[in-house]
Amino acid sequence: MATTLFLPFSAYAADEPAPGSSKGGKPGPAAIADVKITTELPERITVDNKTEGTELTAKVVNNGTKETGPITLTVVGFDGMRITAVKGCGQIPKGQLPPGSNSGFACVIDNVAAGKNRSYAVTATYDLQKAGKICLPVTEGTGKKLLWQQGPVAFGTSKPTPNAPDTPLLLGTDNTPAAQGDKPAEPSKPGKDAKPGKPDLPSTGIGDRTLALGLAGALLIAAGGAGFRWTSRRAR
Protein backbone atom coordinates (compact mmCIF):
# COMPACT_ATOMS: atom_id res chain seq x y z
CA MET A 1 0.00 0.00 0.00
CA ALA A 2 1.50 3.30 -1.09
CA THR A 3 1.94 5.90 1.60
CA THR A 4 2.82 9.57 1.55
CA LEU A 5 5.26 10.97 4.06
CA PHE A 6 4.01 14.08 5.81
CA LEU A 7 6.19 16.29 7.97
CA PRO A 8 3.81 18.41 10.05
CA PHE A 9 6.46 20.37 11.90
CA SER A 10 9.33 20.22 9.44
CA ALA A 11 11.55 23.15 8.62
CA TYR A 12 10.10 26.26 7.11
CA ALA A 13 11.74 29.34 5.68
CA ALA A 14 12.71 32.03 8.14
CA ASP A 15 10.58 35.13 8.46
CA GLU A 16 11.22 37.22 5.37
CA PRO A 17 10.99 40.99 4.94
CA ALA A 18 10.12 40.63 1.23
CA PRO A 19 6.89 42.48 0.37
CA GLY A 20 3.79 40.45 -0.36
CA SER A 21 0.13 41.04 -1.07
CA SER A 22 -3.09 39.76 0.49
CA LYS A 23 -5.01 40.76 -2.67
CA GLY A 24 -8.12 38.63 -3.13
CA GLY A 25 -8.24 37.63 0.54
CA LYS A 26 -10.71 38.12 3.37
CA PRO A 27 -11.47 36.72 6.85
CA GLY A 28 -13.49 33.53 7.10
CA PRO A 29 -16.61 32.96 9.23
CA ALA A 30 -14.51 31.54 12.09
CA ALA A 31 -12.08 34.48 12.22
CA ILE A 32 -11.01 35.52 15.73
CA ALA A 33 -10.85 39.23 16.58
CA ASP A 34 -7.57 39.07 18.53
CA VAL A 35 -5.94 36.76 15.99
CA LYS A 36 -5.83 38.67 12.72
CA ILE A 37 -4.63 36.02 10.29
CA THR A 38 -3.86 36.93 6.70
CA THR A 39 -1.84 35.36 3.91
CA GLU A 40 0.46 36.95 1.36
CA LEU A 41 1.58 36.10 -2.16
CA PRO A 42 4.16 37.93 -4.26
CA GLU A 43 2.81 40.63 -6.56
CA ARG A 44 4.93 39.27 -9.41
CA ILE A 45 6.29 35.87 -10.41
CA THR A 46 8.02 34.65 -13.57
CA VAL A 47 7.39 31.45 -15.52
CA ASP A 48 10.16 29.77 -17.53
CA ASN A 49 8.82 29.54 -21.09
CA LYS A 50 10.62 26.24 -21.73
CA THR A 51 10.03 24.29 -18.53
CA GLU A 52 6.84 26.11 -17.40
CA GLY A 53 8.36 26.15 -13.94
CA THR A 54 7.95 28.92 -11.38
CA GLU A 55 8.68 29.57 -7.71
CA LEU A 56 6.99 31.78 -5.14
CA THR A 57 6.64 32.30 -1.41
CA ALA A 58 3.37 31.76 0.44
CA LYS A 59 3.19 33.47 3.79
CA VAL A 60 0.76 33.28 6.70
CA VAL A 61 0.81 36.33 8.98
CA ASN A 62 -0.60 36.98 12.45
CA ASN A 63 -1.34 40.69 12.81
CA GLY A 64 -3.28 40.15 16.00
CA THR A 65 -2.45 40.53 19.67
CA LYS A 66 -2.72 36.83 20.55
CA GLU A 67 -1.02 33.72 19.20
CA THR A 68 -2.88 31.60 16.68
CA GLY A 69 -2.52 28.19 18.26
CA PRO A 70 -2.56 25.24 15.82
CA ILE A 71 -3.61 26.22 12.29
CA THR A 72 -3.25 24.83 8.79
CA LEU A 73 -2.23 26.78 5.70
CA THR A 74 -3.29 25.07 2.48
CA VAL A 75 -1.86 25.90 -0.94
CA VAL A 76 -4.18 24.86 -3.80
CA GLY A 77 -3.70 25.20 -7.58
CA PHE A 78 -6.38 25.63 -10.24
CA ASP A 79 -6.49 25.29 -14.04
CA GLY A 80 -3.13 26.23 -15.61
CA MET A 81 -1.32 26.56 -12.28
CA ARG A 82 -0.28 23.28 -10.66
CA ILE A 83 1.45 23.21 -7.27
CA THR A 84 4.27 20.66 -7.36
CA ALA A 85 5.79 21.13 -3.89
CA VAL A 86 5.60 23.25 -0.75
CA LYS A 87 8.67 22.86 1.42
CA GLY A 88 7.87 21.29 4.79
CA CYS A 89 4.24 20.53 3.88
CA GLY A 90 2.24 17.41 3.05
CA GLN A 91 0.63 16.70 -0.30
CA ILE A 92 -3.15 16.34 -0.32
CA PRO A 93 -4.20 13.05 -1.96
CA LYS A 94 -5.72 13.53 -5.39
CA GLY A 95 -9.06 12.06 -4.37
CA GLN A 96 -9.42 14.56 -1.51
CA LEU A 97 -8.58 17.77 -3.36
CA PRO A 98 -11.25 20.48 -3.45
CA PRO A 99 -13.43 20.06 -6.57
CA GLY A 100 -12.06 21.99 -9.54
CA SER A 101 -8.49 22.08 -8.22
CA ASN A 102 -5.58 20.09 -9.61
CA SER A 103 -3.10 20.06 -6.73
CA GLY A 104 -2.71 21.01 -3.09
CA PHE A 105 -0.41 20.90 -0.07
CA ALA A 106 -1.26 21.29 3.62
CA CYS A 107 1.13 23.07 5.97
CA VAL A 108 0.28 22.14 9.56
CA ILE A 109 1.52 24.87 11.89
CA ASP A 110 1.79 24.48 15.65
CA ASN A 111 1.53 28.22 16.36
CA VAL A 112 2.22 31.71 15.00
CA ALA A 113 2.95 34.30 17.68
CA ALA A 114 1.40 37.77 17.60
CA GLY A 115 3.16 39.95 15.05
CA LYS A 116 5.00 37.00 13.49
CA ASN A 117 4.68 35.02 10.27
CA ARG A 118 5.66 31.77 8.62
CA SER A 119 6.92 31.61 5.04
CA TYR A 120 6.86 28.58 2.75
CA ALA A 121 8.74 28.04 -0.50
CA VAL A 122 6.33 26.93 -3.24
CA THR A 123 7.27 25.42 -6.60
CA ALA A 124 4.73 25.13 -9.36
CA THR A 125 4.20 24.75 -13.08
CA TYR A 126 2.11 27.12 -15.15
CA ASP A 127 0.61 26.26 -18.54
CA LEU A 128 0.76 29.66 -20.21
CA GLN A 129 -1.90 28.58 -22.71
CA LYS A 130 -4.42 28.63 -19.88
CA ALA A 131 -5.58 30.86 -17.06
CA GLY A 132 -4.18 29.87 -13.68
CA LYS A 133 -5.17 30.52 -10.08
CA ILE A 134 -3.94 29.80 -6.57
CA CYS A 135 -5.83 29.63 -3.28
CA LEU A 136 -4.56 29.96 0.30
CA PRO A 137 -7.16 29.00 2.92
CA VAL A 138 -6.18 29.00 6.60
CA THR A 139 -8.16 26.76 8.93
CA GLU A 140 -8.20 26.20 12.68
CA GLY A 141 -6.14 23.20 13.74
CA THR A 142 -6.68 20.47 11.16
CA GLY A 143 -10.42 21.02 10.97
CA LYS A 144 -12.75 22.88 8.66
CA LYS A 145 -13.25 26.17 10.56
CA LEU A 146 -12.14 28.78 8.06
CA LEU A 147 -10.14 31.66 9.56
CA TRP A 148 -8.98 33.33 6.34
CA GLN A 149 -8.84 32.68 2.63
CA GLN A 150 -6.96 34.31 -0.22
CA GLY A 151 -8.35 33.48 -3.64
CA PRO A 152 -8.69 31.58 -5.77
CA VAL A 153 -6.77 34.55 -7.16
CA ALA A 154 -5.28 34.71 -10.64
CA PHE A 155 -1.69 35.06 -11.77
CA GLY A 156 -1.43 36.15 -15.38
CA THR A 157 -0.43 38.64 -18.04
CA SER A 158 -2.16 40.48 -20.87
CA LYS A 159 1.16 40.74 -22.73
CA PRO A 160 2.50 37.23 -23.45
CA THR A 161 6.22 36.91 -24.22
CA PRO A 162 6.56 33.49 -25.91
CA ASN A 163 9.98 34.30 -27.44
CA ALA A 164 11.52 35.54 -24.20
CA PRO A 165 13.28 33.30 -21.64
CA ASP A 166 10.45 33.78 -19.18
CA THR A 167 7.05 35.42 -18.80
CA PRO A 168 6.30 37.73 -15.87
CA LEU A 169 2.88 37.20 -14.28
CA LEU A 170 1.08 39.63 -12.00
CA LEU A 171 -1.13 38.73 -9.05
CA GLY A 172 -4.81 39.49 -9.66
CA THR A 173 -4.43 39.50 -13.46
CA ASP A 174 -6.26 37.06 -15.76
CA ASN A 175 -3.86 35.35 -18.15
CA THR A 176 -4.10 35.95 -21.91
CA PRO A 177 -2.39 33.07 -23.77
CA ALA A 178 -0.17 34.11 -26.68
CA ALA A 179 -2.15 31.95 -29.10
CA GLN A 180 -5.27 33.98 -28.36
CA GLY A 181 -3.74 37.32 -29.35
CA ASP A 182 -5.87 40.14 -28.04
CA LYS A 183 -8.70 37.85 -27.01
CA PRO A 184 -8.90 37.66 -23.19
CA ALA A 185 -8.55 34.22 -21.68
CA GLU A 186 -11.72 32.72 -20.35
CA PRO A 187 -11.70 33.30 -16.59
CA SER A 188 -11.04 30.11 -14.66
CA LYS A 189 -13.94 28.83 -12.61
CA PRO A 190 -12.81 26.99 -9.48
CA GLY A 191 -15.14 24.14 -8.76
CA LYS A 192 -16.68 24.08 -12.25
CA ASP A 193 -16.28 20.30 -12.29
CA ALA A 194 -17.84 19.83 -8.88
CA LYS A 195 -20.72 17.47 -8.63
CA PRO A 196 -24.10 18.72 -7.39
CA GLY A 197 -24.34 18.62 -3.63
CA LYS A 198 -20.57 18.51 -3.12
CA PRO A 199 -19.36 21.70 -1.38
CA ASP A 200 -16.46 23.61 -2.91
CA LEU A 201 -13.75 25.94 -1.68
CA PRO A 202 -15.04 29.42 -0.94
CA SER A 203 -13.93 32.06 -3.41
CA THR A 204 -13.09 35.60 -2.44
CA GLY A 205 -13.50 36.87 -5.96
CA ILE A 206 -16.21 34.82 -7.62
CA GLY A 207 -18.77 34.33 -4.88
CA ASP A 208 -18.58 32.82 -1.41
CA ARG A 209 -18.93 29.13 -0.80
CA THR A 210 -18.46 26.97 2.27
CA LEU A 211 -15.15 25.20 2.82
CA ALA A 212 -15.10 21.76 1.25
CA LEU A 213 -15.76 19.09 3.84
CA GLY A 214 -13.43 16.79 1.92
CA LEU A 215 -10.59 19.23 2.46
CA ALA A 216 -11.01 18.98 6.21
CA GLY A 217 -10.48 15.23 5.98
CA ALA A 218 -7.42 15.76 3.84
CA LEU A 219 -5.95 18.11 6.43
CA LEU A 220 -6.38 15.48 9.10
CA ILE A 221 -4.47 13.03 6.92
CA ALA A 222 -1.74 15.61 6.23
CA ALA A 223 -1.47 16.34 9.94
CA GLY A 224 -0.49 12.77 10.73
CA GLY A 225 0.27 12.53 14.43
CA ALA A 226 0.20 16.29 14.94
CA GLY A 227 -3.26 16.22 16.45
CA PHE A 228 -2.16 13.69 19.05
CA ARG A 229 0.86 15.80 19.96
CA TRP A 230 -1.26 18.92 20.28
CA THR A 231 -3.69 17.07 22.55
CA SER A 232 -0.89 15.68 24.67
CA ARG A 233 0.74 19.10 24.96
CA ARG A 234 -2.52 20.70 26.13
CA ALA A 235 -3.11 17.91 28.64
CA ARG A 236 0.32 18.48 30.16
20-29, 51-60, 84-93, 208-217 — which is least confidently predicted? 208-217
Number of Cβ atoms within 10 Å of the Cβ of 189: 16
CATH 2.60.40.10 at 25-182+198-228, yes or no: yes
Looking at residue 178, its pLDDT comes to 77
Q: Which residue has the higher pLDDT, 106 or 185?
A: 106
Give the integer Cα–Cα distance in Å for 190 and 7. 28
pLDDT of residue 91: 96
* Domain parsing of the chain, residue ranges: 25-182+198-228
Q: What is the pLDDT of residues 99-121, one digit of tens each?
A: 899 999 999 999 999 999 999 99
